[in-house]
Structure 1
Amino acid sequence: MTPAAWGALLGAVLCCGLLLVGSRVLALRRPRLETRVLPYIRDLPQVASRAAPTTSAAHGVFGPVLAAAGEAVERVLGGAASVRRRLQRAGVDVTVSEFRVQQVVWGLVAFALVAAYSVLKALTHPGGAVAPVLLCLISFAVGVLARDQHLTSQVKQRERRILAEFPAVAELLALAVAAGESPVAALDRVVRRSGGELSADLAAVLAEVRTGEPVAAAFDRMATTTGLPLVARFAQGIAVAVERGTPLADVLHAQAADVREAGRRELIEVAARREVAMMVPVVFLVLPVTVLFAFWPGVVGLSLTAP
């Protein structure tokens, strides 16, 4: 084909794509049925403004494809229950299907980067096409797994922050309860006066209690969803204290003391591991330099006095 024919073909493809995008944007800008009917059948403060047409068009065009790819990743990897639990522990407000779509997006980004590098390399150094294709597929798999590892790191970071703020929150609850407030009032005071990951979890428990759920049941659910044994024991202790009427302030003080003791033990263990790591520069860097400074003058003196 001549260059003019190639240009006409590419122009036709571009026009078709622009027509498809334009028709989709026009369809998305058309008000939906619920938007027109809901203001007349129930009291709404204001109908939320629609998203940008470009974003909505992109979601409408690529959303079904990404959703199908996410379902394929779910069938291959599995473990939806584990992913759902880790999403809850990380505090990420997405569903498992949305997380699978994020994994597909990460994989596509890695695939695009490696594909661009392979194309540039092929333009300068032509070679076989099997290795670049395999490298692109491997990069897609690495991107998918990298999103999963990033979720695990998010869980660890959030749990580390929870353990850091747990003693202070427990002491505040104990002081509020010892001052004569009820568990719900003390929980409300602590949630309003503090901020953090543990405070967000306690705010969720407080919201469940305000909707009519018993305090013990709400804390039992918190104990089952958290991944930290210390926080689980804390929630179970509050639930048992509320059910049986035991002194709640003493339970909270004991829980805070246990967390501080666990943090002290962890700090000692980390220091012991770092002590071994600190021996590496001492043995391989400081000691050879010291030996060199000690023996080098003698070696120089022997070389100068030798006949």
Structure 2
Amino acid sequence: MTAWGALLGALAGAGLVLVGVRVRAIVRPPLSDRVLPWLRDLPALSSTSSPEPVSAAAGVFGPVLRSAAEMVERTLGGAASVRRRLERAGIDRTVHEFRIEQVVWGLGAFAVAAVWALLRAFADPSSIVASVVLCVTALVVGVLARDNRLSSQVKARERRMLEEFPTLAELLALAVSAGESPVVALERVVRRSGGEFSRELARVLADIRTGTPIGTAFDALASRTGLPMVARFAAGLAVAIERGTPLADVLHAQAADVREAGRRELIEVAARKEILMMVPVVFLVLPTTVLFAFYPGLLGLHLVTS
């Protein structure tokens, strides 16, 4: 009896020791969380970088979604274009992950169409073929809608970058004119600003801090952006740094060019929408003016004739 008690006590003690070791390992912050705050130019790892337990839904439907994503990739193709647009949109995903999103969007549209077809089938059972065609069409439209959404995200992000570009270029010119080096001026502007173009400059600054030459870092910015203005800015800045051209003059000229291009684009948009701008004048303002002009006369004639 004493031996059994000693054995159970030893097992209980070993279990408590294992639980304590595991709790200590869980509570202690990982090495990345303790080191990354001291690396000022490297982005902090998100919580998704650490391995997480896979849910049951992901374990069941994950292989199916991956197979469907591979089929979409084989059908649509254009992986290089998708990768380029993901980079321009600032979305940190692979092409395969984007294909999985397309499949999810398609399945969502298919589910909505299937529910509508099921409700319609109760009223009209003979419309099965039309319902199947509708569901397949909804699946295809959902897949293509995600691709169209990515293009919209690219355009929206590049529009915001163009709006931020003149101000940040002027700030860089001001810092350089004050006697700061390009790297210090870039660091000051990144620290004091926010936005899409500021994130791109922060990426350039991180590349420089990790040993990339300044000209090469700006050349990489010019190659990954889809805006000719930003590409010319990065290329001009790289050439100016390599050849010793005064940076302040280059930055002021770049900002002035972007502002002038924005004014020209605004004029062109107004010229293209001239007919649409006439619609409220013709159908709202003009009838109201005519009514106010002729109604008193009509009322006077009615009083005279009566």
Q: Secondary structure at the match of 2:220?
A: helix
1:10 matched residue in structure 2:
none
Report how far residue 284 of structure 1 moved: 3.2
1:131-280 alignment runs, 5 A limit: 131-280=130-279
* CA separation of 1:127 and 1:247: change in aligned 2, threshold 3 A: same
Choose 96-105 or 124-133, whichever is displaced more: 124-133
Gaps of 5+ in 2: 1-21, 34-46
Report how far residue 288 of structure 1 moved: 4.2
- For 1:170 and 1:203, the matched residues in 2 are separated by 14
- For 2:189 and 2:159, the matched residues in 1 are separated by 20
1:127 matched residue in structure 2:
126
- For 2:231 and 2:301, the matched residues in 1 are separated by 70
Gaps of 5+ in 1: 1-35
1:51 matched residue in structure 2:
52
- For 2:289 and 2:190, the matched residues in 1 are separated by 57
1:85-104 alignment runs, 5 A limit: 85-104=84-103
Q: Deviations over 1:100-130 (max 9, x none)?
A: 1100000000000000011011113322311
- For 1:283 and 1:46, the matched residues in 2 are separated by 65
Report how far residue 71 of structure 1 moved: 1.0
- For 2:208 and 2:127, the matched residues in 1 are separated by 65
Q: Deviations over 1:113-155 (max 9, x none)?
A: 0000110111133223111000000001110111011111101
Amino acid at match of 1:221: A
Aligned residues: 264
Q: Secondary structure at the match of 1:246?
A: coil
Report how far residue 188 of structure 1 moved: 1.0
* CA separation of 1:70 and 1:300: change in aligned 2, threshold 3 A: farther
What's the Cα RMSD here? Answer: 2.6
Report how far residue 268 of structure 1 moved: 2.2
Amino acid at match of 1:244: R
Report how far residue 44 of structure 1 moved: 5.1
* CA separation of 1:134 and 1:301: change in aligned 2, threshold 3 A: same
- Percent sequence identity over aligned pairs: 67
Q: Secondary structure at the match of 2:211?
A: coil
Q: Secondary structure at the match of 2:245?
A: coil
TM-score normalised by structure 1 residue count: 0.78
- For 2:195 and 2:292, the matched residues in 1 are separated by 53
TM-score normalised by structure 2 residue count: 0.79
Report how far residue 162 of structure 1 moved: 0.4
1:65 aligns to 2:64 (yes or no): yes
* CA separation of 1:175 and 1:285: change in aligned 2, threshold 3 A: closer
Q: Deviations over 1:250-304 (max 9, x none)?
A: 11111111111111212222333444312113223443455566667659958x9
Q: Deviations over 1:67-101 (max 9, x none)?
A: 11111111111111111111011001101110011
